[in-house]
């Protein structure tokens, strides 16, 4: 028996939002290496095309589709394209998200809407149109929450609200779709070295190196997460290793919430 046999991902179709960078990219690479046909969704056309090219050159079965997860028509078009090419979805990783580091007083309504729409509405829309492609064979949905979806954080009101919504939406989806053999779980990363985290330093007007150090220092494991750390958690939830796991939250944060 080979290691890949434990995961049972060979030939399965995986769809990943926010797949052109950070956690999404690391997960696309890992799942593809274990045999999935991977569809990367991202709003950034150039990054998406570059990611598809690079992963294909590495011998991986990857396709990029441009998608704004807040746009109903984009999500419908993605579902139609996947239906025509693959006829199914086995794994959906709802990972796209943005952050605005402001209190409710300082936050513009447009920024509130943007964070809620990308991080929470996007989970709803993609799931709405892709779950019908999972019903025949069952599958696994993984939604990206956050440690701040479980515990509040400073100057991130809209992000905390959106990610708390993702955590409980996950539970509701698990209840609704369990009878269809669709498992739904939430992964909650702690501070992970991604473009999103580095962008927070700029929003807060803090030196990036100092910000990254401060994000790591109080954790029991005393380091930032890497995108690959989170991808391994997604792999567990996507694979047959978690065949009796649904409606749960997996915190991957170096002990930050301990």
Q: pLDDT value at position 1?
A: 62
DSSP-derived letter for residue 241 is G
Based on its alpha-carbon atoms, the radius of gyration of the chain, rounded to whole angstroms, reads: 17
Taken in order 196, 199, 200, 201, the sign of the CA dihedral is positive
d(CA 123, CA 198): 23
Handedness of CA 245, 78, 8, 3 (dihedral sign): negative
Give the per-residue pLDDT at 3. Answer: 72
Sign of the C-alpha dihedral, residues 235, 187, 51, 54? negative
For residue 200, the model assigns a pLDDT of 95
Q: Which two tokens stand for residue 60?
A: 């991986």
3-class SS string, 78-95: HHHHHHHHCCCCCEEEEC
Helix, strand, coil in percent for the chain, rounding step 5: 50, 15, 35
Angle value at C-alpha 200, between 39 and 92, nearest 5 degrees: 20
Choice among 2, 86, 129, 159 that is catalytic:
159
Burial label for 181, CB within 10 Å (0-12, 13-18, 19+), is middle
Annotation: CATH topology of 11-190+226-252: Rossmann fold (3.40.50)
Query: Measured between alpha carbons, how far apart are the two ends of the chain, in Å?
Result: 36
DSSP class of 148: G
Tokens of 134: 């999972």
Alpha-carbon gap, residue 148 to 150, rounded angstroms: 5
What is the predicted pLDDT for the residue at 39?
Answer: 98
What was the pLDDT predicted at 241?
Answer: 95
> How far apart (Å, rounded) are the C-alpha atoms in residues 251 and 258?
10
Query: What pLDDT shows up at residue 218?
Result: 85
Query: Is residue 159 annotated as a catalytic residue, yes or no?
Result: yes
Residue numbers of the chain with a pLDDT score lower than 50: none
Q: Can you give the pLDDT at residue 171?
A: 98
């Amino acid at each position: 028996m080979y290691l890949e046999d434990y995961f049972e991902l060979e030939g399965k179709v995986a769809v990943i939002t926010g797949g052109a960078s950070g956690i999404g990219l690391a997960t696309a690479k890992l799942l593809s290496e274990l045999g999935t046909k991977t569809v990367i969704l991202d709003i950034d056309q150039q990054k998406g095309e570059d990611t598809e090219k690079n992963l294909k050159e590495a011998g991986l079965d990857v396709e990029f589709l441009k998608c704004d997860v807040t746009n109903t028509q984009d999500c419908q078009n993605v579902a139609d394209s996947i239906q025509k090419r693959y006829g199914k979805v086995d794994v959906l990783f709802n990972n796209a998200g943005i952050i605005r580091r402001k209190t409710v007083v300082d936050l513009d309504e447009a920024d509130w809407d943007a964070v809620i729409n990308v991080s929470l509405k996007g989970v709803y829309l993609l799931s709405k149109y892709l779950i019908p492609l999972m019903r025949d064979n069952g599958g696994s949905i993984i939604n990206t929450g956050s440690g701040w979806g479980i515990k509040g954080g400073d100057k991130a009101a809209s992000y905390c609200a959106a990610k708390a919504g993702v955590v409980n939406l996950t539970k509701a989806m698990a209840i609704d779709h369990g009878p269809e053999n669709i498992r739904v779980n939430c992964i909650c990363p702690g501070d992970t070295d991604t473009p999103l985290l580095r962008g927070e330093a700029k929003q807060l007007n803090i030196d990036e190196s100092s910000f990254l150090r401060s994000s790591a220092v109080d954790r029991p494991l005393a380091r930032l997460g890497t995108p690959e750390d989170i991808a391994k958690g997604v792999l567990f939830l996507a694979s047959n290793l978690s065949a009796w796991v649904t409606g749960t939250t997996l915190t991957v944060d170096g002990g930050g919430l301990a």
